[in-house]
Amino acid sequence: MSIFQDSEICRGILESLPVGLCVVDMQKKIVFWSDGAERITGYLRYEVIGHSCVGEALLHCDQPGCEFCKEDCPVALAIKTSHAAETIGYLHHKAGHEVPVRIRAVPVHNAHGSIIGAVETFEDRQPATSPDDHKDGLQLPGFVDDVTSTASRVMMESRLRETVGTFTEMQVPFAILCLRLEGLAHFRASFGREAASSLLRVIARTLEAALWRTDFVGRWTDEQFLVILNGCREEALCSVRERVRHLLAGDAIEWWGDRLSLPVSIGEAKAQPGDTIESLMERAQKSLAAASAGCARAANATGATPSSGSQ
């Protein structure tokens, strides 16, 4: 008998694959979780084996609402259609941020040909930013935000000035997003500076993962992030904003047994002929103020407290 017919050797091979791999049964309960799955999601085997893939570890989405693992997710499609399914989506990392992945699922059959579950693999997509991206600029003193390790305000102003100049000379389209964590000061006072810093880092990582390599994200103020969307035309701005909003809605931190999050308001502005940094930021801040007011009205209507619990 070939040594590779040994089930333990085969299991060891599967567990050591660099991609994430899990196996679910017909009830979508996880029965196998590889080393790669632990690395990509942050969840260890004992935390997911026996639990439903509808749970937090496998909440993936490429469409709004798909995170609830209904009929559109690759596992459900593979089981339902008996064919392989593939998508580009996101996983919620245990630390709270989103991880961009390519997801593939295939049905598993027993000896009689009946479907008994599915195998799902997920592999890291190239992140929007990496330690080498913008390396020269970010190495300069004062150009990196101490809390989030994204670009500082000084760096963002420099990048925005450069982008506006390119637009003026060559009409290369771009847009910006301004994002505010609502109630951050109260959150910090209630839960402490480290909790606030941890949540800011989670938001920053999700933003970096959600954007293209050519985009740029940084800390603008204590409670605001700025995103520069290079090459983004007006018709694409809405879909980018909503994708970012959808991903940030799942961001939270585990803090002393509680799951803490804050609502995020998003303002936007696209570059127009004759724009300066000041005029562009003024429109974005007005848009952000309107979004923030809408968020406050929604919170008042529901009686929600933005500093604790899930969003």
**Alpha-carbon torsion (282, 208, 153, 292), positive or negative:** positive
DSSP-assigned beta bridge partners for residue 20 = 122
**Distance, CA of 190 to CA of 200 (rounded, Å):** 15
Rg, C-alpha atoms of the chain:
22
DSSP-assigned beta bridge partners for residue 112 = none
Q: 65-73, long-range: CB within 8 Å, 24+ apart, which pairs?
A: 67/92, 67/250, 69/28
**Distance, CA of 303 to CA of 153 (rounded, Å):** 34
Pairing assessment for the beta strands 174-181 and 216-219 based on DSSP bridges: unpaired
Q: Token pair for residue 166?
A: 């390119």
List the CATH code of the domain at 135-302.
3.30.70.270
Break the chain into its structural domains and give their ranges.
Answer: 3-124, 135-302
- Which pTM was predicted? 0.67
Per-residue pLDDT tens listing for the chain (311 residues): 567 677 778 888 888 888 899 999 998 889 999 999 888 888 888 888 888 876 554 555 444 444 435 556 788 888 888 999 888 777 778 877 777 888 899 999 999 999 999 999 988 775 444 444 444 545 556 789 999 999 999 999 999 999 999 999 888 899 999 999 999 999 999 999 999 999 999 999 999 888 887 899 999 999 999 999 998 988 889 989 998 998 898 899 999 989 999 999 999 999 999 999 999 999 999 999 999 998 888 877 766 554 444 33
CB hemisphere CA count around 208 (13 angstroms): 20
Domains 3-124 and 135-302 are alike in CATH topology = no
Q: Does domain 3-124 sit in CATH 3.90.420.10?
A: no
